[in-house]
Structure 1
Amino acid sequence: MAKSTQKQALLTEKRIHQAIVDIFMAKGWEAISYGSIAKHTGLSRGGVQRIVPSKEAMMGAFQGQIIAFIDEALDFTNDQSLTDSWIVALDNLQFRNCITFFIGAISGETSGKVLAKKGFERFYEKVGQEKMQSLIGLSVCHLLDA
């Protein structure tokens, strides 16, 4: 009986984490709340809050998925193909939500800032700091026009 309960708890946690990712990708970080997660999963708000007791804990649901999503959207063949694929990707709502999250997270003192820093450092290593700065600048200009 205990194994079944533990297995069920892990499945519930996984369901909540997936809901966080789904909501984030569809509507952005600001749309994630206990209410939106509860609605998405059919669980109670209290049940959700027991699994993810804070907005900080909600970030744990990402587990590298944001960086992987950004990576998959880009063509790293050469400098120009990277820029072109980044510009095209900015028209994708999910990609924009990821970039918006990273840009917004750097100004906070939360685990989001740590996540953003890791993401930026990973891309710095992959494409160089100057290129990354250029792409972030492009992103900010694009987001201002959106």
Structure 2
Amino acid sequence: MPRVSQAVAAETRRKIINVSFEIAMNEGFEKLTFGTIAKKAGITRSGINAHFKHKADLIDVLIPMFVEIIDKPLIYTSPDAFFTSWVYAIHHDQDFVKAISHSGAIISPQRGVKGLFEKIAGDPAEVERCIYMSIGYAVVNLAENE
């Protein structure tokens, strides 16, 4: 069997990543299986395995994509600016809502909170209060939307 060109291999990898991202964003990581990806991408499971040996390898590629979507609407200059941007994103940015709703499967709460502590500028006590207010706000408001 002839080897696949690098361009075709790169295109297949990109397709796997894009389809995986769409599944994870819209259906959640529990629906992200090689079988589901193969079916939606129109390739074989062995085709996926040629690029990603394990689901964890694929998730490692998806994490930065989720982080980028979560980070994009947020302002980290102060606790007040962060909270205001968080509330706005909850109500006006569907990709943000999907990303925070599904990211718990790949980004532990501890890692997520730690990342926020590192990014939000301000007094540590105010930053901590802001983070927990933001999480509470999301829990209440996202539960209402389900």
Is 1:74 paired with 2:74? yes
Whether 1:97 aligns to 2:98 is yes
Cα 1:59–1:139, aligned 2, differ >3 Å: closer, same or farther?
Answer: same
Distance in 2 (CA, whole Å) between partners of 1:142 and 1:58 is 31
Tell me, yes or no, if the aligned pair for 1:25 and 1:93 is still in contact at 8 Å.
no
The amino acid across from 2:94 in the alignment is L
- When the two chains are superposed, the root-mean-square deviation of aligned CA atoms in Å is 2.8
Q: TM-score, normalised by structure 1?
A: 0.71
- Match of 1:38, as an amino acid? A
Gaps of 5+ in 1: 106-111
Shift of 1:50: 4.1
One-letter amino acid matched to 1:123: L
Larger radius of gyration: 2
Conserved 8 A contact 2:89-2:96 = yes
Q: 1:21 deviation in Å?
A: 1.5
Given that residues 24 and 102 in structure 2 are in contact (C-alpha distance below 8 angstroms), is that contact kept between their aligned partners in structure 1? no
CA distance in 1, matches of 2:118, 2:9: 38
Between 76-85 and 128-137, report the one with greater CA deviation: 76-85
How many residues are treated as equivalent by the alignment?
Answer: 137
Q: Paired residue for 2:124?
A: none
Cα separation, 1, equivalents of 2:113 and 2:9? 34
Contact in 2 for aligned 1:23/1:31 (Cα 8 Å): yes
Secondary structure of 1:43's match?
Answer: coil
Is residue 2:129 matched to residue 1:123?
Answer: no
Shift, 1:63, TM fit: 4.7
Q: 2-side partners of 1:58 and 1:129: how far apart?
A: 32
Tell me how far apart the structure 1 counterparts of residues 112 and 11 of structure 2 sit (CA, whole Å): 28
Contact 1:20 1:61 in 2 (8 A): no
Match for 2:45: what amino acid? R
Q: Quick check: 1:74–1:85 contact (8 Å CA) kept in 2?
A: yes
CA distance in 2, matches of 1:56, 1:99: 19
* Counterpart for residue 140 of structure 1: 139
Distance 1:29 1:17 in 2: 13
Map residues 1-146 of structure 1 onto 2, 5 A cutoff: 5-91=5-91, 92-102=93-103, 104-105=104-105, 112-113=106-107, 117-127=110-120, 128-146=127-145
**Aligned counterparts of 2:113 and 2:107: Cα–Cα separation in 1:** 10
Gaps of 5+ in 2: 121-126
1:113 deviates by 4.6
Q: Counterparts of 1:40 and 1:118 in 2: how far apart (Å)?
A: 31
